[in-house]
Structure 1
Amino acid sequence: MKRLFGKREAIDVEEALHTYGDMVYRLALVQMKNRSEAEDVFQEVFLRLVRYKDRIDGQEHLKPWLIRVTVNCCRKQFDSAYRRRTVPIDREIGEEQSYEMDTPGNPVYDAVLGLPDDYRSVIHLFYYEQYSVREIAEILELSEAAVKTRLSRARGKLKNTLKGEYASAGTV
């Protein structure tokens, strides 16, 4: 595709790693719920950035591109034959030593992690990354209506999950 307005802005991979590395890792960790798998996704995302950096249309498209690639890599990881044949580490070795994601004991955080992948993605992007519905729709390649529906359903699931937790406080 030929650009009419000149050259594309070069993407500095090292700068992107420093600027967006934490965001990519957090998103992968929320999706995968496992540090080692999140690290694998993180590496895959930045390897793809190295490979395809010339295809990204400037800095303003870099962050959405990274988020979309992270979500896609997580989905690919979930669909892999290897993952379907593995046993979660806590079932394998008990509670002695686990590399699973630490939960700070926050019931809201635990409830978000318990959501299905599609709901967890939109909740994370909306509340933790502060994206608008329109931006989430573009990133996840969904309609705005689909994003709103997923947000609504996710909030409903969170409300039901947290009802007992906060019923005595009267906040739900």
Structure 2
Amino acid sequence: MEQKDLLVQWVQQYFDRLTYIAYTYVRDQSRAEDLVQESFMNAYLSAHQLKDPTRPFPWLVRIVINRCLNATRNNRREQPTQFLPEQRSMSTEDIYMQRSRDKEVYAAIMSLPEKYRTPVILFYFEELSIREIADALKLSEGAIKTRLSRGRDQLKIKLRGVDIDELRDAYSSS
């Protein structure tokens, strides 16, 4: 398969999933989409570094996460001016998630520290294995298991009072 065709296939298969992951970092849908597009360009230019061509998703996740972390770092350095005050309104995605029946879960997951949030999302929503998450995040499998366990513990505390069995049924049927 030609490299251009491979890029088209990746975009078609993974754009939405990678955008969701990027959104958890930058919390701005258009910025997340831009970062994913930039990540696809990086992936295209460094496709020769892909170790397992049959499973590109974990590798693409790592590229997106790195891109988001770099963007977050760069944004911290920027100082808003008094002439252009930031007028931040809620994005459509935020409004949708607030109105949906699983807004408590979304809020609880988004409130987790990044080191727990990312493994939880990759494991439960993107269905990556512990090994794939470890490779994507450049951590040991033991560290991923620990972060998943601690993330689940924090979610249990945050979701106390929400019917956990009802949520489990809702997510297992999805």
Say yes or no: TM over 0.5: yes
Q: Pick from 19, 22, 29 the counterpart of residue 28 of structure 1.
A: 22
Moved more, 98-107 or 68-77: 98-107
Deviation at 1:113, TM superposition (A): 1.1
Q: Partner residue of 2:147?
A: 150
- Unmatched segments (≥5 aa) in structure 2: 169-174
Q: Partner residue of 1:141?
A: 138
Structure 2 distance, partners of 1:114, 1:57, is 33
Identity over the aligned pairs, expressed in percent?
34
Deviation at 1:99, TM superposition (A): 2.7
Letter in 1 for 2:162: E
Structure 1 distance, partners of 2:163, 2:79, is 36
Q: Partner residue of 2:59?
A: 65
Q: Partner residue of 2:44?
A: 50
Where do 1:46-125 residues align within 5 Å? 46-57=40-51, 59-80=53-74, 82-85=75-78, 92-93=86-87, 97-99=89-91, 101-102=93-94, 103=97, 104=100, 106=102, 107-125=104-122
Number of aligned residues: 155
Q: Partner residue of 2:162?
A: 165
Letter in 1 for 2:50: I
Contact 1:13 1:50 in 2 (8 A): yes
Q: Determine which structure has more spread, i.e. the larger CA radius of gyration.
A: 1
Q: Partner residue of 2:171?
A: none
3-state SS of the aligned residue for 2:139?
coil
Structure 1 distance, partners of 2:51, 2:114, is 28
Q: Does 1:19 align with 2:13?
A: yes
Structure 2 distance, partners of 1:24, 1:42, is 7
Normalised TM-score (structure 2): 0.77
Contact 1:45 1:66 in 2 (8 A): yes
3-state SS of the aligned residue for 1:163?
coil
Normalised TM-score (structure 1): 0.77
Contact 1:33 1:101 in 2 (8 A): no
Contact 2:43 2:63 in 1 (8 A): no
Q: Deviations over 1:16-61 (max 9, x none)?
A: 1111111211111122221122122112111102211233245224
